[in-house]
Amino acid sequence: MNNRYIADFPALKEEVNGHRLVYLDSAATTQKPVSVIEAGEAYYRTSNANPHRGAYALSMKATEIYENTRTVVKNFIGAGSDKEIIFTKNATEAFNLLAYSYGMNFIGEGDEIVISIAEHHSNLVPWQQVAKAKGAVLKYMYLDAEGIVPKEEIEGKITNQTKLVSVTQVSNVLGTINPVREIIQRAHRMGAVAVVDAAQSVPHQRMNVADLDADFAVFSGHKMLAPMGIGVLYGKEELLEKMPPFLYGGDMIEYVSEQDASFAEIPYKFEGGTQNVGGAAGLTAAIRYLDAIGMDEIEQAEKALVGYAIEKLSRIPHITIYGTRDISKKAGILSFNVEDVHPHDVATILDAYGVAIRAGHHCAEPLMRYMAVNATCRASFYFYNTKEDVDQLAEALANTRRWLGYGSE
């Protein structure tokens, strides 16, 4: 599996600073296979028109591409209806849609919103704003020593005052896999709705929203081979029906008079304005590519890679690895630091060896404070990575401290 997909990704054939590119930042955005690039190009070459709005062939073709993607996404995540799939710009926009359309209308003074300390800012700041505006209480579930939300936090923080629980399935910092099924079950027992941040899970493991009984789920196309600018909000039909629109204007209306308007049915009432049909075409191609490999195979390959990386990095002096080392509880993300070297310096030095990692707080500042660090280095893997990539990372890390004059220790 390790090598047969690399040929499909033009960017992975590049050289950086005289070295073969090792791309280890797929948690931020994945590289794109030729089939995805060509799908977007084909749309703009042969089908470029506004969907839903034209009675001519080109517009109808654009509509078919756009709506077919909705069905493809529905099937990929196990949703019950096309109506439950709403296209957004990205996961951040999807969370804002939820916060303003659901949170501002169905959460009141004294109600509790529960998230984990490991949330990406996209699944944190919108709920902060809802809590401030509505006089609600924002509560955090904290992590155990492995970086996972434990049972006692789930049962202790989600109470009968809780109205909404929103939690990441896979931490974008630690790669740890949270027990979202148990969190959702607890939320429902307490009468709360449950939101899953699936941005780091949908691209890497099989997910069925109906089986999980998630009320909402959010993810981005660009983290699963698709172009930037296309994301997904899944929501149960009965909840979406109750929610008012988030963006007002063209294509989300039914009738408009001088003083009033009525709105289109779901999902269209949440998709105001001209939509990203080229992105949708790319998302369909991306899902077909992933389906052809198989999500179970992708998950196992990534676990093997992160396990190999933990083994290699553990042998290098002065490196601290964060989160569990148990690959059964971990996806393909590995956060670490090099003693006495700032993560930004580590990333710059690794780039000299052709290795691309992410360094910083990873849009998770509260988690950084909880971990008592300012920032970390993050290597994130996908099925197109290889053990040779890990070896190149390890070799570069072994030399990192020497660059800053620490000698050969």
Write out the catalytic residue numbers. 363
Cα–Cα distance, 394 to 374 (Å, whole number): 23
**What is the DSSP code (8-state) at residue 353?**
T
| Continuous segment of H or E residues that includes residue 297 | helix 295-314
Diameter of the chain by CA atoms? 76
Angle of helix 387-403 relative to helix 343-352, nearest 10 degrees? 120
* Strand extents, DSSP E, 89-192: 112-116, 137-141, 162-168
Cα–Cα distance, 96 to 122 (Å, whole number): 8
Q: Which residue has the tokens 């077919």?
A: 68
Q: Which amino acid is at 260?
A: D
Cα–Cα distance, 101 to 216 (Å, whole number): 13
Angle of helix 295-314 relative to helix 277-293, nearest 10 degrees? 80
**Residue 141 and residue 154 in contact, taking contact as beta carbons nearer than 8 Å:** yes
Residues sharing a CB contact under 8 Å with residue 12, sequence separation 6 or more, in sequence order:
6, 21, 23, 31, 384
Q: Token pair for residue 266?
A: 């779901």
Q: Token pair for residue 409?
A: 């220790």
Cα–Cα distance, 84 to 78 (Å, whole number): 11
Q: Within 10 A of 371 (CB to CB), how many other CB atoms are there?
A: 19
**What is the DSSP code (8-state) at residue 50?**
-
**Residue 33 and residue 289 in contact, taking contact as beta carbons nearer than 8 Å:** yes
Phi, psi of 392 (to 5 degrees): -65, -40
Instruction: Write out the DSSP string of 204-242.
Output: TS---HHHHT-SEEEEEGGGTTSPTT-EEEEE-HHHHHH
**Residue 171 and residue 366 in contact, taking contact as beta carbons nearer than 8 Å:** no
- Residue 226 sits at the vertex; the CA angle it makes with 351 and 194, to the nearest 5 degrees, is 105
Cα–Cα distance, 184 to 167 (Å, whole number): 9
